[in-house]
Amino acid sequence: MNKFDSIRPYCDADLQEVLAKFKHNPELIDIIVTYRFAHWHRLARPFLKILTRWVISHHLSKVKTVREFQLLIEPYMQQMIDTTTSKFTTSGLDGIDLSKPCLFISNHRDIAMDPAFVNWALHTSGKDTVRIAIGDNLLTKDWVSDLMRLNKSFIVNRSAEGKREKLAASKLLSEYIYFSLTEEKQHIWIAQREGRAKDGNDLTNPALISMIALNKPKDQSFSDYIRELRIVPVAISYEYDPCDQTKAMELHQKESSGTYEKQDHEDIMSISRGIVGYKGRVHLNFGQPITQDFDSAKEVAEYLDRAIISGYRCFATNVLAAQKTGLADVETLLAQCTQEELARAQRYFSERTAGMDSQVTNKLLAMYAAVIVNQQNIQRLGGQTSAS
C-alpha cells in the first residue's frame, strides 16, 4: 500500500488522526454553522459554533472505522435526497453480478452528486460502495481533501507538470485502479471525462481509457484487459441541474471572450450548490459490463458514449428545451409528457432565466436539449455517436 499512499483513500489506520483534525478545524465549523443555521441571528453564531464543535466531537468519538464514518453520513444523504429530489430511481442494477468488483464509468454533470448517487444506489441495494476518483484541483483545502479521502475517494493528479511527471502519475493511477479491482475487490467510480459536461454533451475522452489501460501487461491483449476490468457504463439523469445558471454563464463567457477565469474555491461552491440545490427527479441507468472485443481506446469510448446516451432518461425539461431551441424534432416526445410536466418545466425555465441575457438563456436551454439531440443522432447514425 505504501506505493499508493499519496493517492489512496484513507483506511482505518488513518482514521483517528484525521478525525482529530476535523474536531478542531474552525473553517469547517464555520461552514457547517453558516449552512445549517443560515436564518439564525448573527449574535447566536458564537454559541452555535461551540455547540456544533461539541456535536461533531461527540459523534466522531464513536467512529472507529471508515465504514462507520460512512454510516454516520448516511442519514444526511437520506435527508438530502428527501429534500432536493422528488424521486430517485434506478434501472439495470439487478442485472449486474455485483459480487465481482466493477469499474463504473458515468457521465459527469455534478462534481459530488454523480458518485454520491451511484453510491446510494449500491448502498440501498445492500452492496458495497465505490472508491471515487477525484481530481486534485478540487482539493484546494486540506480538510476537503481529508473529508473526500475518508469517503473512499482517491486522487487523480491533474497538477502534474512535464511529460515524465504526467506519465508517471497516469501509470500510478492506472495501477491503483487495477489493484483496487483485482486485489482489494473494491468497486471504482470514475467520470467519462475530466470536468463536467457543462454543455450537456456526455462524451467519453478516449485518453481516459488509454490511461486505464496503461497497466496492461505486454502479453495480454487490449480486449482481454478491458474485459477483466468489468467496465459498467452508467447514465445519470437530472430533471433539474442546480448549477445550470453558472454553467451557462461560463459557456457564454468562453464563447464571447475566449477564456474563463475561475474564482477562488469556485469548485467548492459548485459542490455545495449541487448538494443543496433542487434536482427534481434523478434516474441512474446501469449498463452491462463490457464483454465485447475492442482494439482501441477510441472504440471503447464510442461504445460507452452509445450506452450512456441511450440510457439517459429524458424529462420534460429536456423535451421543452429541445422544442424552444429548435434543435430537434420532439413532437412524439412532447406527446409522452403530461401537461402538468410541461407546465412545471416551463415555470422552471421562466424562473431560471428571468433577467438573463438571451445568449446565456440559449446556452442553458441547449444544455438541457443536448441529450435529446445526441439520442436522435445515435438513432440516425445507426448506433454511432456524433463524435465517431
Going from N- to C-terminal start, the domains of the chain cover: 2-313
Taking the CA atoms of the chain, what radius of gyration do you get in angstroms?
Answer: 22
As given in the structure block, the three cell numbers for residue 35 are: 449552512
- Confidence (pTM): 0.92
Name residue 6's amino acid: S
Classify domain 2-313 by CATH number.
3.40.1130
Q: Please report the pLDDT score of residue 34 as a whole number.
A: 74
The whole-angstrom separation of Cα 308 and Cα 293 is: 19
Q: What is the pLDDT along the chain (388 residues), one digit of tens a residue?
A: 589 999 999 999 999 898 888 877 888 788 777 767 777 878 888 888 888 888 888 888 889 998 898 888 888 889 899 999 999 999 999 999 999 999 999 999 999 999 999 999 999 999 999 999 999 988 877 888 888 898 899 999 998 899 999 999 999 999 999 999 999 999 999 999 999 999 999 999 999 999 999 999 999 999 999 999 999 999 999 999 999 999 999 999 999 988 888 877 778 788 888 998 999 999 999 999 999 999 999 999 999 999 999 999 999 999 999 999 998 789 999 999 999 999 999 999 999 999 999 999 999 999 999 999 999 998 887 755 544 3
Residue 89, beta-bridge partner list: 283
Give the count of beta carbons closer than 10 Å to the beta carbon of residue 218: 4
Secondary structure class of 88 (helix, strand, coil): strand
Closest CA to 131 of 105, 153, 114: 153
Q: Please report the pLDDT score of residue 386 as a whole number.
A: 44
Q: Where are the alpha helices (DSSP H) in the chain?
A: 15-23, 26-36, 45-60, 66-84, 113-124, 142-150, 163-182, 206-212, 222-229, 244-257, 266-276, 297-311, 316-325, 331-336, 339-352, 358-380
Q: Please report the pLDDT score of residue 348 as a whole number.
A: 98
Q: Please report the pLDDT score of residue 261 as a whole number.
A: 82
DSSP string over 49-84: HHHHHHHHHHHHTT--SHHHHHHHHHHHHHHHHHHH
Whether the CB-CB separation of 117 and 96 falls below 8 Å is answered with no
Secondary structure class of 92 (helix, strand, coil): coil
